[in-house]
Structures are given as structure tokens and as C-alpha cells.
């Protein structure tokens, strides 16, 4: 789950601009695609346990229904303007690129082990760089996250627990379950 040097440099540059919009930078993906690259930014807001219930509709400063959680369209617009202006000034991406800003969604991608800690006990989809137990792709229950040791434990079928080094994780997503 290590970011490339280019992605890390973009993350470090963009993080303060995203924070200025009162949202968290969950992660970003930089996908060079020939002449036109893609910069996808994921933003999130912490859940407010004191938020009004959905029965009472309050409105935030942008006129959107405020339920004390989640990202709204206006949050994405604000971050797009803020980050777009920053990228125009510093021009860190050569050539043309598209900028996308969204919430991580129900099937949120994970960019660090710390993000995974809140989802212990839930299903995750993993794509590994090197096979573990003869598999590179699988879904499993997240059992433990050890940030210091940089490992996770997942439970696959038949209650088998696998230890996975974070440097072997190419991609990890939460699996939405109804």
C-alpha cells in the first residue's frame, strides 16, 4: 500500500488545500494514461454522533440536507475548485489530465493500514502483488490490523487466517454488505 513517489508528492501538495475545505483527504490515485492522465481524489468527513436525525431535516451552509455525515456534492465542488487552482499554479502534472473528486463510497478503497482499523470484522477485497496461499485476489474478513508491524490478518473460507504484509497489497477495498 505504498504510494509511488509522484503520488506521494501530489498527496503532500494537495492535503492542505483539501483540509481548507473542512474535509479529510482519504486518498488519491494518479493514473498516467498516455496523453491524458487522471487524478482521482477521495475525500471524507467523520461521522458526527450528535447530528440531527434524518426525521428533522436541517440544512448546511450550502443549502444541502445535513445529516452530520458523508460527503455532499458541494464538498466535491469546493475541493475541485481549491485543488484545481493549486494545480494550475504549481503545474505538477505534465500534459493534459482530468481531475475527479468524490467520496470513497460504500466500497471504499484503502490507502493506509490506519484506515482499515475502523473496518475490522468486515469483508475486504484484496489484490496482492505476490500470491499468498496460491492466491493473488480474494475476499476475506478483516480480523486484525497491526500498523507498527505493517501487517493485516484476514480470515478466508474454512476459518483459515492469513497474515499479509502491507507491502504486498496492491489494492484493498471494503466490500459493501447489505
- Tell me what pLDDT residue 46 has: 79
Report pTM: 0.83
For 43-63, what is each residue's pLDDT tens digit? Answer: 999 776 665 554 444 445 555
Q: How many residues does the chain have?
A: 178
Domain boundary among 67, 102, 137: 102
Residue 107: inside a domain: no
Average pLDDT, the chain: 88
- Give the C-alpha separation, 60 to 78, whole Å: 14
* HSE (side-chain half, CA atoms, 13 Å) at 143: 13
Mean pLDDT within 97-122 = 95
Tell me, yes or no, whether 94 and 122 share the same domain: no
If one counts the domains in the chain, the total is 2
Q: Based on the domain organization, do 34 and 72 belong to the same domain?
A: yes
Where among 46, 72, 102 does a domain terminate?
102
3-state secondary structure of 24: strand
Domain shared by 127 and 96, yes or no: no
Range of lowest pLDDT (29-43, 59-73, 109-123):
59-73
Alpha helices (H) along the chain = 5-19, 73-90, 113-116
Q: Which helix (H) or strand (E) holds 164?
A: strand 160-165
In a domain, 39, yes or no: yes
Range of the domain at 50: 5-102
Amino acid at each position: 500500500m505504498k504510494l509511488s513517489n509522484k503520488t506521494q508528492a501530489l498527496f503532500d501538495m494537495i492535503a492542505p488545500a483539501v483540509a481548507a475545505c473542512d474535509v479529510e483527504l482519504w486518498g488519491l490515485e494518479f493514473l498516467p494514461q498516455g496523453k491524458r492522465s487522471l487524478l482521482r481524489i477521495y475525500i471524507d468527513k467523520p461521522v458526527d454522533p450528535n447530528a440531527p436525525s434524518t426525521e428533522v431535516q436541517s440544512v448546511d451552509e450550502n443549502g444541502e440536507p445535513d445529516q452530520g455525515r458523508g460527503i455532499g456534492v458541494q464538498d466535491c465542488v469546493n475541493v475541485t475548485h481549491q485543488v484545481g487552482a493549486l494545480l494550475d499554479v504549481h503545474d505538477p502534472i505534465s500534459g493534459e489530465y482530468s481531475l475527479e473528486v468524490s467520496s470513497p463510497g460504500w466500497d471504499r478503497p484503502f490507502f493506509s493500514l490506519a484506515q482499515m482499523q475502523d473496518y475490522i470484522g468486515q469483508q475486504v477485497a484484496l489484490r496482492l502483488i505476490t500470491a499468498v496461499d496460491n492466491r493473488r485476489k480474494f475476499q476475506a474478513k478483516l480480523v486484525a490490523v497491526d500498523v507498527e508491524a505493517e501487517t493485516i490478518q484476514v480470515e478466508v473460507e474454512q476459518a483459515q487466517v492469513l497474515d499479509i504484509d502491507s507491502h504486498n497489497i496492491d489494492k484493498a477495498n471494503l466490500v459493501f454488505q447489505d
